[in-house]
Structure 1
Amino acid sequence: MADLIAVTFPSEAQAEEVRNRILELQKEYLIDIGDAVIAVKSESGHVKLNQLISTTAAGAAGGSFWGLLIGVLFLNPLVGVAAGAGAGALAGALTDVGVNDRFMKDLAEQKIEPGQAVLFVLVKKVTGDKVLEALRGVGGTVLQTSLDHTREDALRKALAGEAENEPAPGV
């Protein structure tokens, strides 16, 4: 089962830096993510999603290929490519992969201030201790997770740069 983690950052640049760090950890097989999206709230209150994968572009590319094949069969490959690209782009634009776009936009509209960003990560598998160590001190505030209380608390401490066995300040 996948876990959803949403962390707020003061800027899109900081959220992007953390997303890149998570993608590097994925290359090292320490984490397997299903999606990693950054939602940014503009000064006007509009929320923009910065997706990892453009489903519209992927759909257009796939549609172009199949359109070319069908066009060759009917001796008009250019029309086939154009029709296939258009159909593929439309299908891609209507496809929602990973975390639900409406959910991300609604949460960002309600919970963050203009200029801030939320990094949404859908985690399939994780080597928890190594990933937490790699993310220690990156900053950010946990907004929402589907983790249990113990793992969520460990994530909060790692983002703040606290050692796991350190007592919380004032305790």
Structure 2
Amino acid sequence: MSDLVVIVYPTEAKAEEVRQLLLALQKEYIIKLGDAVIATKTEAGTIKLNQLMNTTATGAISGSFWGMLVGLLFLNPLVGLAVGAASGAIGGALTDVGINDAFMRDLSTSIQPGNAALFVLVQDMTADKVLKEIQGFGGVVLKTSLDETKEQVLRDALQRASATAGQEPGSNA
């Protein structure tokens, strides 16, 4: 079973930095991600989703391949390529893998313009190692499907990082 974690960061760049860190941790088998999407809210109030994988482009590429292959069988590879690309793109656009887009858009309406929410679908992780890596980035937990104890540990770690970042260098507070 996967867990959903949504953390709000002050900028899209900070959220992207954390996403790239999580992807690097995935290569080290410390975490296994089902999806990682960044949602930002513009000044006009519109929500933009920065998906990890573009299903429309992926569908178009695979559709092109299969369309060209079928086209070769019927001695018209260009028509097969065009039809395959179009049908693959449509199929890819209609496919929603990972976190539901409508859910992300709904939840993202509550963030401030300019902020970014990092939606992460975690399939498996070594929690203490992941927490150690991301706690320095701060952020505020918006929503999780973690149990209350794990959620509180995450909130506390991120809050400590935010409090440390708010202190002036050299202060004794």
TM over 0.5: yes
5 Å-filtered alignment, 1:131-150, equals: 131-150=130-149
Q: Does 1:89 align with 2:93?
A: no
Counterpart in the other structure of 1:125: 124
TM-score, with normalisation over the residues of structure 1?
Answer: 0.92
Match of 2:166 in 1: none
- CA RMSD, Structure 1 to Structure 2 (Å): 0.9
User: Residues 39-118 of structure 1: matches in 2 within 5 Å?
Assistant: 39-109=39-109, 111-118=110-117
User: Structure 1 residue 11: deviation in Å?
Assistant: 0.7
User: Cα deviations across residues 7-29 of structure 1 (Å, max 9, x unaligned)?
Assistant: 00111001000101111110110
Write out the 4+ residue segments of structure 1 that deviate beyond 4 Å after TM superposition: none
CA distance in 2, matches of 1:159, 1:29: 23
Q: Which residue identity is paired with 1:98?
A: G
- Could you tell me how far 1:135 is from its partner in structure 2? 1.1
Q: Which has the higher helix share?
A: 2
Residue 137 of structure 1 aligns to a residue in which SS?
helix
In the aligned structure 2, how far is the partner of 1:51 from the partner of 1:107?
16
Q: Note the residue ranges of structure 1 that are not aligned, 5 or more in a row.
A: 163-171
The equivalent of 1:167 in structure 2 is: none
Identity, in percent, stands at 61
Q: How many residues align?
A: 161
Amino acid at match of 1:25: L
Three-state SS of the structure 2 residue aligned to 1:136 is helix
Q: Which runs of 5+ in 2 are unaligned?
A: 162-173
Give the drift of 1:161: 3.8
Amino acid corresponding to residue 19 of structure 2 in structure 1: R
CA distance in 2, matches of 1:42, 1:94: 25
